[in-house]
């Protein structure tokens, strides 16, 4: 994604939210990023016990993920391209937000798939999640979580959050876990993980790093096959540097123990550990049917490619060690794990969703990745082959797509941050 200063990024967001008419998205929005990490040697994750506000029962059994016995590749299909921008009465590039036919025509998908405009929320969505009731839950920038019924009608489910960017239902329960912010400060901000149950918010992990350039924070949440939760946490700087004071620009040797990482936590928050390190600004994450965890990382401001990873437990995945004039090299003996795949610079990967349904032939156990940036080489959904070493464009033509979710019937729902539109992609043959 494009990296600007906190004030300019925030101004961009405020202007976007303030516009009541369907505005053209700015090609410079930034996603939560990870905090800087100090020089360290890779070690197995260390368990850190934190106090919990309210104890909740531990999971009785591992979350069951049913794997297919065999995998097949998607059927041959024409390549799809980013559609040209087209002026409308609302924008010089995009259809009006309420022009259902124009948006359905604009979104390009692979052969055999159909796009349907489902609904539009008058807000900036940040994350999608289907609940145990089969309904879609949508968190928004303004701090409200909405529930959408089968007819595309929205009702508030919970409000009062501060920029929620992660949601996950604990399997077998109606308890919704969410990440948001406590203080939205550029330096020394704070984020947290909580759960919502019976209309009450209970915080289980607080004091997490936040909010470099207004975006790095506790982000995506997912539950693993072990019944524990996993959350991405952004870095406090761009590439591990000190941000202010007489030593600004030098390497920060006093890093927060949880920044630029994926954390593993028990459902009651009494156990919290670093599962993997080195993710500057990982947003979404998800598990495949084989017990592999995937995420995508937003790279530093000197514009290297964005990165997609099959996460190595206990591994060092990059941050704060990069190759640039002002960057820092890893110390001797530290093995930095390379990405499985890369995306163009500033494409801003956000949502990461494993496809574990059989509606899409040949897509089982692959990973959908959203490229959020408004630059023309982003604005799309990528499908990654199982294993994460290759992929292709699955859907293009969005303004600022930010997340996906798989419905109970196997359709893929996509939401757009700029327009509030929710689309359904189904396989029709």
44/219: higher pLDDT: 219
Give dist(CA 296, CA 311) in Å, integer. 10
pLDDT above 70 (res 54): no
**C-alpha–C-alpha distance, residues 188 and 194, integer Å:** 20
In a domain, 363, yes or no: yes
Whole domain around residue 166: which residue ranges? Answer: 6-427
Asked if residue 355 belongs to a domain, the reply is: yes
Residue-wise pLDDT for 383-420, tens only, equals 999 999 999 999 999 999 999 999 999 999 999 999 99
CA 147/CA 125 separation, integer angstroms: 12
- Neighbour count for residue 149 (Cβ, 10 Å): 13
Q: How confident is the model at residue 251 (pLDDT cuts 50, 70, 90)?
A: very high
Residue 69: pLDDT band with limits 50, 70, 90:
very low
Residue with token string 């899409």: 360
- For residue 66, being part of any structural domain is answered with yes
Q: What is the pLDDT of residue 53?
A: 31
Lowest mean pLDDT among 70-84, 263-277, 372-386, 400-414: 70-84
Query: Which pLDDT band holds residue 71 (cuts at 50, 70, 90)?
Result: low
Q: What three-state secondary structure class fits 139? A: strand
Q: Are the C-beta atoms of 412 and 368 separated by less than 8 Å?
A: yes
Q: Is residue 1 part of a domain?
A: no
Summarize pLDDT for 270-291 with one digit per residue, the tens: 999 999 999 999 999 999 999 9
**pLDDT band with cut points at 50, 70 and 90 for residue 66:** very low
pLDDT at 63: 39
pLDDT of residue 154: 98
Q: CB within 8 A of 54, min separation 6: which ones?
A: 202, 204, 268
Q: pTM for this one?
A: 0.84
CB of 119 closer than 8 Å to CB of 148: yes
Is residue 49 over pLDDT 90? no
> What's the number of domains the chain is made of?
1
What is the pLDDT, as a whole number, of residue 319?
Answer: 96
Q: Domain for residue 381, yes or no?
A: yes
The per-residue pLDDT for 5 is: 38
Q: Is residue 135 part of a domain?
A: yes
Question: How far is the first Cα of the chain from the last one, in angstroms, to the nearest whole number?
Answer: 35
Average pLDDT over the chain reads 86
CATH of the domain at 345: 2.120.10.30
What is residue 76's predicted lDDT score, i.e. its pLDDT?
77
What are the pLDDT digits (tens) for 102-153? 999 999 999 999 999 999 999 999 999 999 999 999 999 999 999 999 999 9
Q: Mean pLDDT over residues 82-101, rounded? A: 96
């Amino acid at each position: 994604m494009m990296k600007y200063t906190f004030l300019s990024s925030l101004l961009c967001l405020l202007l976007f939210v303030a516009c009541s008419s369907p505005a053209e998205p700015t090609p410079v929005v930034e996603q939560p990023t990870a905090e800087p990490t100090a020089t360290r040697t890779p070690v197995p994750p260390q368990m850190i016990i934190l106090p919990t506000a309210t104890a909740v029962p531990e999971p009785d059994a591992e979350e069951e993920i049913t794997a297919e016995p065999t995998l097949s590749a998607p059927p041959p299909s024409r390549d799809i391209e980013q559609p040209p921008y087209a002026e409308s009465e609302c924008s010089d590039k995009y259809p009006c937000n309420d022009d259902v036919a124009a948006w359905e025509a604009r979104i390009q998908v692979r052969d055999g798939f159909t796009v349907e405009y489902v609904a539009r929320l008058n807000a900036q969505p940040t994350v999608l999640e289907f609940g145990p009731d089969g309904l879609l839950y949508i968190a928004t920038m303004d701090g409200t979580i909405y529930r959408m019924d089968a007819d595309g009608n929205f009702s508030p489910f919970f409000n009062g959050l501060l920029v929620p960017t992660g949601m996950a239902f604990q399997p077998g329960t109606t308890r919704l876990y969410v990440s948001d912010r406590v203080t939205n400060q550029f330096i020394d901000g704070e984020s947290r993980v909580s759960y919502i149950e019976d209309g009450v918010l209970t915080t289980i992990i607080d004091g997490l790093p936040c909010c470099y350039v207004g975006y790095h924070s506790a982000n995506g949440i997912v539950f693993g096959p072990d019944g524990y939760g996993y959350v991405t946490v952004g870095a406090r700087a761009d590439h591990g540097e000190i941000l202010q004071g007489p030593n600004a620009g030098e390497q920060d040797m006093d890093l927060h123990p949880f920044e630029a990482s994926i954390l593993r936590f028990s459902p009651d928050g009494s156990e919290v550990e670093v599962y993997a390190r080195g993710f500057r600004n990982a947003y979404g994450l998800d598990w495949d049917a084989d017990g592999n965890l995937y995420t995508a990382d937003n790279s530093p401001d000197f514009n290297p490619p964005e990165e997609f990873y099959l996460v190595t437990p206990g591994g060092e995945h990059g941050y704060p060690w990069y190759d640039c004039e002002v960057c820092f090299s890893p110390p001797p003996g530290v093995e930095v794990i390379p990405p499985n795949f890369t995306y163009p610079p500033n494409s801003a990967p956000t949502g990461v969703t494993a496809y574990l349904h059989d509606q899409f032939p040949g897509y089982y156990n692959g990973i959908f990745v959203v490229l959020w940036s408004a630059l023309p080489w982003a604005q799309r959904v990528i499908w990654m082959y199982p294993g994460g070493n290759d992929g292709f464009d699955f859907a293009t033509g969005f303004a600022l797509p930010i997340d996906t979710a798989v419905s109970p019937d196997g359709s893929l729902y996509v939401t757009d941050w700029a327009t509030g539109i929710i689309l359904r992609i189904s396989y029709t043959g």
